[in-house]
A and B are shown apart, each in its own frame.
Chain A
Amino acid sequence: MGSGTSTQHHFAFQNAEKAFRAAALIQRWYRRYVARLEMRRRCTWSIFQSIEYAGQQDQVKLHNFFSYLVDHFTPSSHNERDFLNCMFTEERSPQASETQNCGDYDSIEVPDSYTGPRLSFPLLPDHATALVEAFRRKQRLHARYVLNLLHEARKHLVQLPNINRVSTCYSEEITVCGDLHGQLDDLIFIFYKNGLPSPERAYVFNGDFVDRGKDSVEILMVLFAFMLVYPKEFHLNRGNHEDHIVNLRYGFTKEVMHKYKIHGKKILKLLQDVFCWLPLATLVDEKVLILHGGVSDRTDLELLAKLDRHKIVSTMRYKTRKENKKQAEEKGNANQTGSAGRPSPWFLPQSRSLPSSPLRPSTHKAHRAGRSSSVPCGVPLDPKELSRRVRRSVDLELERCRQQAGFPAIKEKEEPSSSESEVDSDAEEQPQPTPEEWRQVVDILWSDPMAQEGCRANTVRGGGCYFGPNVTERLLQKYHLQFLIRSHECKPEGYEFCHSRKVLTIFSASNYYEVGSNRGAYVKLGPDLTPHIMQFQANKATHTLTMRQRISRVEESALRALREKLFAHSSDILVEFKKHDKDETGLIALSDWAAAVESVLHLGLPWRMLRPQLVSSLTDNKLAYKSWLENLAKEKLSQQNIQSSLLETLYRNRSNLETIFRIIDSDHSGSISLDEFRHTWKLFSSHMNIDITDDCICDLARSIDFNKDGHIDINEFLEAFRLVEQSCSGGDVSDCPQVTNSSNRDCSSPGAH
């Protein structure tokens, strides 16, 4: 009770108060730290997404280019003609006799030394399970069995309707999985966690089984095996990546040729056909519609159910039979209907914005303004460029007609109906889909939901549309459905509801952009059709990392990809910087930096948020931009003695280059001649308005030809990019000592594929 006690109390109180305040301070600081991490994580996500979608746009532009070539280019020499024909023969859908040959696996001998799984048909459930186990142990299936399995798979698929119907009466629950993208670990994990397929456990895999990941082949084998073993319970939908042209760019073609050097070509050819036979959608209890992309305001399930899905070889190219036309013309056969009779390539920029001309049959549908356009479209051209191309193509058509009919000039009458007709009666062996049919399929494979009402062209992806809640609602009502399940978009949690829970996105490839970037998920439906979501992340290493380490790693990967993009456009960026620096001080304000960079890259990124990660030193809150750009270049310049501006061009067009390589290399030999490369590159750059002189192209070609033998080895060339990346990534490994066994993909940069 004396003063001693009260002083003690007083001190105790003070100490308690101090401790309270100290704790509060630490918590306050920590929460801010976490918030900043979260912001970095979101920004990282934006980077990956915007680069990914920009890459897809490139893909569309590239194929518009090739279509443009095929449709408008009049080869001036025999060699060029052959070259073009050669380039596109692989794209033809195989005829019956060809596919017979592809399925010809009997002659392939399996050596005794082969220790991988051996399949015999008809497959039994044990075989399928054994296959999963074998792949888990990193074994490889022999080409003979691959071909055999694909052959059997096709036989089965051919019998299926476009829209598969599934009922929960038979199997009590149905598990729906989304994109896998070659990530076998995720598939194995799903089977482990959810159970293997069985008559009681139905599965629907909603497309995009291949590309990007390194085990696309194995995933297909497992999926097809279970499909054959449990045909009534195991269902596959086609995704936009079940497409041989998309595969050229995104890694599946490469994977097949790498794993099956001798028979890869056969396998690819058979796959081309198998993909076309995949069903387009699955309907559960007539109430839940499962399809890969989405819907549009034009989606017509009756039409989709009726059309011949096999006709749609690729959603990237509407036309597949142009080559026959060319050959027929060259024969000078006057009895043909002539070039005016062929359907005009309505999806090219010209035909959408010009009025119909007498020399070009119009496609009425494409001209309707204000209609939801859901077609692959390139970037709109400026009027001058447009008229230049029109003039060129008009000239070419005139020339062709002249050649064909032997007259100096000819007036073709308009034949609008032929563009709508389903079949070109003459030399085509296989009927074409109508524009409407093709559009219907593109829509369901490529569309994405959006929050706003309405339906508009999906310019980000270059295919399909963005569909709003009203579109969903109308469709559900029209067909008496409860909700949609779709995939196609990566989500941080592996799934996402939208449109008042009427649309569920399900994505099953965890760590899609980078180890730690996102979870995967799958959804189970019982007889009450209530969706139950299960999430996972198939990488033990990420669990042991702290949030900070996980985010750092993913972030570094995204930043690397972004810096590469910045480098690839350095010249344009420099021009923009100079505009903001009229006084030529060499410095630029940060606000202007952000505006300049966005105006060149068009990625829609939060540049001010990202600035601390991209720009390290400032004088007076301004950036010395020349040295900043030079530093970006330094990262890239390495062993190769390719000069900086050329390197910039290479990087800017890297994915396109790789894809061009693979298209040119039609026999998948792994190398193309300098001439082939130069020729195609020249056409490509003039089409894309890439300002590059003839000399530059020669230099470029020669510098890529590292061993100077007149041939460009694709893999060597790509290896050069990988080496540069590896030397850059050395920095972040020290952060995460435990990730040696993580499921990393071969190509480290996510945007490159």
Chain B
Amino acid sequence: MADDRDRDSTEVAVAEFHKKIKEAFEVFDHESNNTVDVREVGTIIRSLGCCPSEGELHDLIAEVEEEEPTGYIRFEKFLPVMTEVLLERRYRPIPEDILLRAFEVLDPAKQGFLSKDELIKYMTEEGEPFSQEEMEEMLSAAIDPESNSIHYKDYITMMVIDEN
């Protein structure tokens, strides 16, 4: 009995996932022919609630790409892969407190802020480096112009509110 219920609820979940994925996909399907530019796939995946790293994203794209990459991703290939991702709850978003701790790692002196130069250094030289555009965009919102530093706790709070 429990199995039946489980199966039903999975089916319902899958149906709902399918609709969500289709909607997100269609926003970028400019020619209404069930394809999107491969460069937009990351945006689609992330807006569906996932938070993959660049490396994970590349792997995912490799799964949904054609054998001979065309620069376009077809919905028929995207849907099953993405459904699995959602069902397995892969690439979960990062909780606020973990994010805070990450900033604190970069701020060992526990000053509560990072200087602009420090942030630039970390974001463009470590991890999966930012492009210049990404860096500028992050700075524009994060930097406190008077002190030229980022009070990361406030920054996180502001971003999180914005999301909701």
Are B19 and A36 in contact, CB atoms less than 8 angstroms apart? no
Contacts of A452 in B (CB 8 A): 31-33
| A606-B126 CB under 8 A given contacts A28-B94, A34-B137, A35-B47 | no
Are B19 and A608 in contact, CB atoms less than 8 angstroms apart? yes
CB-CB nearest in chain A for B24: A609
**Chain A proximity of B22: nearest CB distance (Å):** 9
Give chain B's interface residue range (CB within 8 Å of chain A): 35 or more
Decide if B9 is an interface residue (CB 8 Å cutoff): no
Q: How many residues of A contact B (CB 8 A)?
A: 38
Decide if A68 is an interface residue (CB 8 Å cutoff): no
Q: When chains A and B are docked, how far (Å) is the Cα of A591 from the Cα of B127? A: 39
Decide if A371 is an interface residue (CB 8 Å cutoff): no
Decide if A547 is an interface residue (CB 8 Å cutoff): yes
CB-CB nearest in chain A for B158: A548
**Chain B proximity of A37: nearest CB distance (Å):** 9
Q: When chains A and B are docked, how far (Å) is the Cα of A146 from the Cα of B17? A: 60
- Per-position binary interface string of chain B over residues 28-66, scored 1 when its CB falls under 8 Å from any chain A CB and 0 otherwise: 101111000000001111110011111000000000000
Are A39 and B19 in contact, CB atoms less than 8 angstroms apart? no
Contacts of A39 in B (CB 8 A): 24, 27, 43-44, 46-47
Are B46 and A32 in contact, CB atoms less than 8 angstroms apart? yes
Contacts of B137 in A (CB 8 A): 34, 546-547
CB-CB nearest in chain A for B121: A23
Contacts of B140 in A (CB 8 A): 546-547
Are A591 and B46 in contact, CB atoms less than 8 angstroms apart? no
Decide if B88 is an interface residue (CB 8 Å cutoff): no
Decide if B159 is an interface residue (CB 8 Å cutoff): yes
Select the residue from A18, A21, A27 with max chain B CB neighbours within 10 A.
A27
Are A451 and B31 in contact, CB atoms less than 8 angstroms apart? yes
CB-CB nearest in chain A for B122: A23
Are B27 and A609 in contact, CB atoms less than 8 angstroms apart? yes
Are B53 and A24 in contact, CB atoms less than 8 angstroms apart? yes
Q: When chains A and B are docked, how far (Å) is the Cα of A697 from the Cα of B97? A: 59
Contacts of B134 in A (CB 8 A): 30-31, 34
**Chain B proximity of A24: nearest CB distance (Å):** 3
Decide if B102 is an interface residue (CB 8 Å cutoff): yes
Contacts of B98 in A (CB 8 A): 25
Decide if A490 is an interface residue (CB 8 Å cutoff): no
CB-CB nearest in chain A for B98: A25
| A22-B23 CB under 8 A given contacts A27-B127, A28-B51, A546-B137 | no
Q: When chains A and B are docked, how far (Å) is the Cα of A609 from the Cα of B94? A: 20
| A22-B105 CB under 8 A given contacts A36-B163, A46-B27 | yes
Are B126 and A608 in contact, CB atoms less than 8 angstroms apart? no
Decide if A717 is an interface residue (CB 8 Å cutoff): no
**Chain B proximity of A143: nearest CB distance (Å):** 46
Are B23 and A19 in contact, CB atoms less than 8 angstroms apart? no
Decide if B141 is an interface residue (CB 8 Å cutoff): yes
Decide if B106 is an interface residue (CB 8 Å cutoff): yes
Are A23 and B123 in contact, CB atoms less than 8 angstroms apart? yes
CB-CB nearest in chain A for B30: A451
Decide if B81 is an interface residue (CB 8 Å cutoff): no
- Per-position binary interface string of chain A over residues 1-27, scored 1 when its CB falls under 8 Å from any chain B CB and 0 otherwise: 000000000000001001111111111
Q: When chains A and B are docked, how far (Å) is the Cα of A19 from the Cα of B122? A: 8
CB-CB nearest in chain B for A42: B27
Q: When chains A and B are docked, how far (Å) is the Cα of A31 from the Cα of B23? A: 21
| A33-B102 CB under 8 A given contacts A26-B127, A28-B52, A546-B141 | no
Decide if B93 is an interface residue (CB 8 Å cutoff): yes
| A591-B19 CB under 8 A given contacts A22-B103, A451-B33 | yes
Contacts of B46 in A (CB 8 A): 31-32, 35-36, 39
| A548-B162 CB under 8 A given contacts A36-B46, A608-B19 | yes
Decide if B85 is an interface residue (CB 8 Å cutoff): no
Contacts of B102 in A (CB 8 A): 21-23, 25-26
Are A24 and B126 in contact, CB atoms less than 8 angstroms apart? yes
**Chain B proximity of A281: nearest CB distance (Å):** 27
**Chain B proximity of A384: nearest CB distance (Å):** 33
**Chain A proximity of B141: nearest CB distance (Å):** 4
Are B53 and A28 in contact, CB atoms less than 8 angstroms apart? yes
Are A26 and B99 in contact, CB atoms less than 8 angstroms apart? yes
Decide if A612 is an interface residue (CB 8 Å cutoff): yes
Decide if B87 is an interface residue (CB 8 Å cutoff): no
Return the contact of B105 from the options A19, A30, A591, A594 (Cβ within 8 A). A19
Interface of A is mostly: helix
| A27-B43 CB under 8 A given contacts A33-B163, A39-B27 | no
Decide if B72 is an interface residue (CB 8 Å cutoff): no
Decide if A38 is an interface residue (CB 8 Å cutoff): yes
Q: When chains A and B are docked, how far (Å) is the Cα of A547 from the Cα of B138? A: 9
**Chain A proximity of B30: nearest CB distance (Å):** 8
Decide if A88 is an interface residue (CB 8 Å cutoff): no
Q: When chains A and B are docked, how far (Å) is the Cα of A452 from the Cα of B138? A: 39
Q: When chains A and B are docked, how far (Å) is the Cα of A35 from the Cα of B46? A: 6
CB-CB nearest in chain B for A28: B53
Are A25 and B94 in contact, CB atoms less than 8 angstroms apart? yes
Q: When chains A and B are docked, how far (Å) is the Cα of A42 from the Cα of B27? A: 7
**Chain B proximity of A535: nearest CB distance (Å):** 16
Return the contact of B127 from the options A20, A32, A38 (Cβ within 8 A). A20
Q: When chains A and B are docked, how far (Å) is the Cα of A268 from the Cα of B28? A: 42
Are B23 and A29 in contact, CB atoms less than 8 angstroms apart? no
Decide if A60 is an interface residue (CB 8 Å cutoff): no
| A21-B127 CB under 8 A given contacts A35-B47, A546-B140 | yes
Q: When chains A and B are docked, how far (Å) is the Cα of A25 from the Cα of B98? A: 9
Q: Which of A697-716 contact B (CB under 8 A)?
A: none
Are B51 and A29 in contact, CB atoms less than 8 angstroms apart? yes
Contacts of A33 in B (CB 8 A): 159, 163
| A43-B128 CB under 8 A given contacts A35-B42, A591-B16 | no
Are B54 and A31 in contact, CB atoms less than 8 angstroms apart? yes
Contacts of A609 in B (CB 8 A): 23-24, 27, 47
| A35-B141 CB under 8 A given contacts A26-B102, A27-B127, A607-B23 | no
**Chain A proximity of B45: nearest CB distance (Å):** 8
Decide if B164 is an interface residue (CB 8 Å cutoff): yes
Decide if A93 is an interface residue (CB 8 Å cutoff): no
| A27-B130 CB under 8 A given contacts A39-B43, A42-B27 | yes
Q: Which of A575-626 contact B (CB under 8 A)?
A: 591, 594, 606-609, 612
Decide if B77 is an interface residue (CB 8 Å cutoff): no
Decide if A447 is an interface residue (CB 8 Å cutoff): no
Are B94 and A29 in contact, CB atoms less than 8 angstroms apart? yes
Decide if B90 is an interface residue (CB 8 Å cutoff): no
Are B99 and A25 in contact, CB atoms less than 8 angstroms apart? yes
Decide if A570 is an interface residue (CB 8 Å cutoff): no
Return the contact of B162 from the options A38, A46, A552 (Cβ within 8 A). A552
| A43-B43 CB under 8 A given contacts A26-B102, A31-B54, A546-B137 | no
Contacts of A26 in B (CB 8 A): 99, 102-103, 106, 122-123, 127
Q: When chains A and B are docked, how far (Å) is the Cα of A597 from the Cα of B94? A: 32
- Besides the contacts A26-B99, A29-B99, what 10 more A-B pairs have beta carbons closer than 8 Å? A19-B122, A23-B106, A24-B128, A26-B102, A27-B123, A30-B138, A43-B27, A451-B31, A548-B162, A608-B23
4 tightest A-B CB contacts, nearest first: A24-B127, A23-B127, A35-B46, A451-B31
18 cross-chain CB contacts under 8 A? A20-B126, A23-B123, A26-B123, A27-B54, A27-B127, A28-B54, A28-B128, A29-B93, A32-B50, A32-B51, A36-B47, A39-B43, A46-B27, A451-B31, A547-B141, A591-B19, A606-B24, A606-B26
